[in-house]
Amino acid sequence: MSINTQVNQQQDAYIENRGRLLVKCPDKPGIVSILSTFLHTHHSNIIESSQYSSNPENGTFFIRIAFHCEGLRDKAIQMEKNFEQIAAVHNMEFSFHYPQERTRSAIFVSKEPHCLMELLWEWQNGDLDTDIVVVISNHEDARPFVEALGIPYYFIPANKEIRKQVEAEQIRLMDEYNVDLLILARYMQILTPDFVDHFENRIINIHHSFLPAFIGAGPYERAYARGVKLIGATSHYVTNNLDEGPIIEQDVERVDHRDNIVELKKIGRTIERRVLAKAVKWHLENRIIVEGNKTIVFH
């Protein structure tokens, strides 16, 4: 057996025995003890734990636990079933996640490829823990470098007159490719409520502005006209309120009066790339709990 084969087998076994548990519940003393005792009872070792309470007296408690458990593949179903009893007693909303079950992602893009290219680069490097199974665009520009990586590329013209038919075809493709996560990498089309409802908290968008400033189209032009000293980008989950979904990540760069609109856009593209990549990574690593129109993000 080659060294590379041995390393790959060890890595597979490592991932196979890893799990993540996300919990949201009313806060009260002893929650961490209850969770750690449960995992200990199931011969699991906690390797990472992050928690937050909105108010220690009468608030909501959030926690993300990453754990290692030998033979987890065979134990997972029974563990989840056993945990249901604890969750019922303590009014917990919870979810188990397993890195061995890779997320299947679709990327939507229009003409500007910088966010798409960043995601493909991260994916090629092994830094984006997902399978990119399809790319969909209302332009042909990105086809060559997407298909060069062996990823199916679908050109679907889109405008408001044919939006219903377009989204029906997109939903069909999402079902065909068994997509878990939709990433809008500068896809410059408004999604209808019917489409968004199909993928609640599973569509991540990048908006080229530090929201809530400059919602909608042309934010750089409006930022320039306003004479801003900071420009930014925001990645958020998509809801039926335009650019107002739960925010996952934001970043900014300082600018001044010397920067024209072209230069603002150039600076902005760099921010957009890193902000979207971070948001997608955190989603894939199950580091996000959506709470109303906000997010709890465990870095």
pLDDT for the residue numbered 114: 96
Last residue of a domain, one of 47, 76, 97: 97
Residues 148, 241, single domain; the answer is yes
**Looking at the predicted structure, is the pLDDT value of residue 7 above 90?**
no
Which residue segment(s) compose the domain that 83 sits in?
3-97
Residues 60, 159, single domain; the answer is no
Band (1; pLDDT cuts 50, 70, 90)? very low
Residues 18, 114, single domain; the answer is no
Q: Convert the pLDDT of each residue in 173-218 to its tens digit.
A: 999 999 999 999 999 998 999 999 999 999 999 998 877 777 777 8
As given in the structure block, the two tokens for residue 205 are: 């968008």
Residues 143, 12, single domain; the answer is no
pLDDT for the residue numbered 161: 85
Report the CATH number that the domain containing residue 148 is assigned in CATH: 3.40.50.170
Last residue of a domain, one of 97, 122, 141: 97
Mean pLDDT of 69-96: 97
pLDDT for the residue numbered 105: 98
Residues 128, 142, single domain; the answer is yes
Establish whether 243 is a catalytic residue.
yes
Please give the Cα distance from 86 to 257 (Å, whole number): 58
Query: Out of 22-31, 63-72, 84-93, 241-250, which region has the weakest mean confidence (pLDDT)?
Result: 241-250
**Looking at the predicted structure, is the pLDDT value of residue 293 above 60?**
yes
Please give the Cα distance from 288 to 188 (Å, whole number): 25
Residues 215, 251, single domain; the answer is yes
Residues 150, 168, single domain; the answer is yes
Report the CATH number that the domain containing residue 33 is assigned in CATH: 3.30.70.260
Catalytic choice (141, 243, 256, 259): 243
- Burial annotation 112-126 (CB, 10 A radius, 16+ → b, else e): bbbbbbbbbebbeee
pLDDT for the residue numbered 160: 81
Residues 60, 155, single domain; the answer is no
Last residue of a domain, one of 56, 81, 97: 97
pLDDT for the residue numbered 239: 94
Residues 75, 120, single domain; the answer is no
How many distinct structural domains can be found in the chain? Answer: 2
Residues 143, 288, single domain; the answer is yes
Residue with tokens 């150039």: 266
- Kindly calculate the radius of gyration of the chain based on its CA atoms and give it in whole angstroms: 21
Residues 150, 87, single domain; the answer is no
Band (222; pLDDT cuts 50, 70, 90)? confident
Helix 72-90, helix 31-41: angle, nearest 10? 150
Helix 114-124, helix 261-284: angle, nearest 10? 40
Q: Convert the pLDDT of each residue in 118-166 to its tens digit.
A: 999 999 999 999 999 999 999 999 999 999 999 999 999 988 889 899 9
Q: How far is CA 256 from CA 131, 233, 261, 296, in A?
A: 40, 17, 11, 33
Residues 171, 225, single domain; the answer is yes
Q: How far is CA 125 from CA 37, 90, 129, in A?
A: 37, 42, 10
Q: Which of 84, 76, 110 is nearest to 205 (CA)?
A: 110
pLDDT for the residue numbered 67: 98
Q: Which of 166, 146, 143 is nearest to 156 (CA)?
A: 166
